A and B are shown apart, each in its own frame.
Chain A
Amino acid sequence: MDSARMLLACLLLTLAPQIGQADEPDAEESRWQLGIALGYGIRTNPLVLSDEIPIAVDLDIAWFGDRFFFDNGDVGFTFADNDYVTASVVGRFNSDRVFFGKTDTEFVTAGLDGTTLPIATLLEIPDRDYAGEMGIELLAGGRWGRLQLTAHHDVSGTHDGYEVHADYGRGFRRQRWYVEPSIGLSYKSAALNDYYWGVRSGEASPALPEYEAGAGVNVHARFMLGYQMTRNWRFALVAEAERLNDEAFASPIVVDRTVYGYFAGFGYRF
């Protein structure tokens, strides 16, 4: 995954200046939004037997047409856009899968429910798939900040659930310095929560008890600090925390209630 991102970053560095140059003569705003950030960061992993997710490269690849757009993995069609609201149909991949790519397998002598096992038993965290989701996105913004409301349902037959998300953020700029705090809530349906955080009977073992998760609400907060060094370069620091819902935290495969993350690095905007 890291080498793939590196390869994509190199490709971006090669191609992006040509795109920017093509748009300069008529001074119109480019439909492309391309950037790369290099630095260091991690995102903690709430799963047992798991590793933190290291972050060294952050890519920003977006294209905004009159109606259609692509924004870092989200594909959308905007059907209403005015001073009050921007409404789009958006397709995306669910982000909860990311934790399941960094899990380990171990022999354990105690089950995740605390029981002592008579013999060492192989404990394997069940794998989960990315879910393709479709939904509606409502955006509003002004001097008071920006508000994003989304509702997405699984269309890939992966979890058959849905998620409703609200996020509010406001940016403050003082010339080169920029800070942007944001907070939000995510309601995750029982089907979605159970797919990612539940343990099905076929996956259960003496070390891994069966578990069925219900619906719940995650809460998250984010803080970004940026310093614009030149027209293209900026330094940025991001810190984020997401508190998992009760049903997810009660899962035997979850050991941490809150997912923390930070990243500090230098970003280049083409």
Chain B
Amino acid sequence: MRLLVLVLTLMPVVVASANDADVELQVKPILCITDEVTPSCDMSFLVHWQSEQSGYYCLFNDFGREPLRCWSDERMGELEDDRNVQESFSYWMSEEGGASRLATVTVEVLRMDTDDRRRRRRTRHVWDLL
């Protein structure tokens, strides 16, 4: 039971860290689940980053070329991003200019419905959990 609680607590958070630059990026939640009733997710993403070195850092995502926000001479920052999601996308941190990604986190969209009506409509077998 303790293991289950631990797993359930930790799973929704993903932390990304760049290999060379010490920037950690944390996004919560990182999974959007859609089905035929709910084809998209209205989600509020909490994005948190921190670095060992102060500097000029910008947060980007796949939806635009402009940064969501930039921080000057900061070692950490946080942003809440409300978004309607239908496809997987990424958040990433970059230094000034946005040439290289220091840390990236991907928000995954998991589609639970299917185009095959048989799969949707068939009763699960007695012990079929999946």
Contacts and interface: CB of A to CB of B under 8 A. Distances in A.
Nearest to B111: A29
Tell me the dominant secondary structure on chain B's binding face: loop
B99 interface: no
Given A173-B37, A235-B4, A41 B127 contact: yes
Interface string B18-56: 000000000001011101111001000000000000000
A146 B121 CA distance: 6
A263 B4 CA distance: 15
Interface in B3-21: 4, 7-8, 11-12
A88 B128 CA distance: 21
Given A228-B110, A234-B130, A235-B4, A140 B121 contact: yes
A253 interface: no
Most buried by A among B112, B123, B127: B127
A180 B100 CA distance: 46
Select the residue from A55, A72, A76, A269 with max chain B CB neighbours within 10 A: A72
A226 B124 CA distance: 14
Contacts of B41: 175
Interface string A139-166: 1110100111000000000000000000
Interface residues of A, number: 55
A37 interface: yes
B12 to A, nearest CB: 8
Interface residues of B, number: 34
A147 B117 CA distance: 12
Nearest to A145: B121
Interface string B79-101: 00000000000000000000000
Contacts of B129: 37, 58, 60, 224, 226, 234, 236, 238, 263, 265, 267
A259 B108 CA distance: 40
A258 interface: no
Given A64-B116, A176-B31, A231-B110, A58 B127 contact: yes
B119 interface: yes
A18 B42 CA distance: 34
Interface string A156-187: 00000000000101000101101010101000
A81 interface: yes
A29 B114 contact: yes
Given A173-B33, A176-B31, A81 B110 contact: no
A60 B127 CA distance: 9
A35 B130 contact: yes
A21 interface: no
Interface of A: 29, 33, 35, 37, 41, 43, 55, 58, 60, 62, 64, 69, 71-73, 76, 78, 81, 86, 88, 95, 139-141, 143, 146-148, 167, 169, 173, 175-176, 178, 180, 182, 184, 222, 224, 226-231, 234-236, 238, 240, 261, 263, 265, 267, 269
Interface of B: 4, 7-8, 11-12, 29, 31-33, 35-38, 41, 108, 110, 112, 114-130
11 contacts: A37-B129, A37-B130, A88-B118, A139-B118, A143-B36, A146-B121, A148-B123, A169-B123, A173-B112, A228-B33, A229-B7
Closest 8 CB pairs of A and B: A139-B121, A35-B130, A236-B129, A141-B121, A60-B130, A229-B11, A148-B123, A37-B129
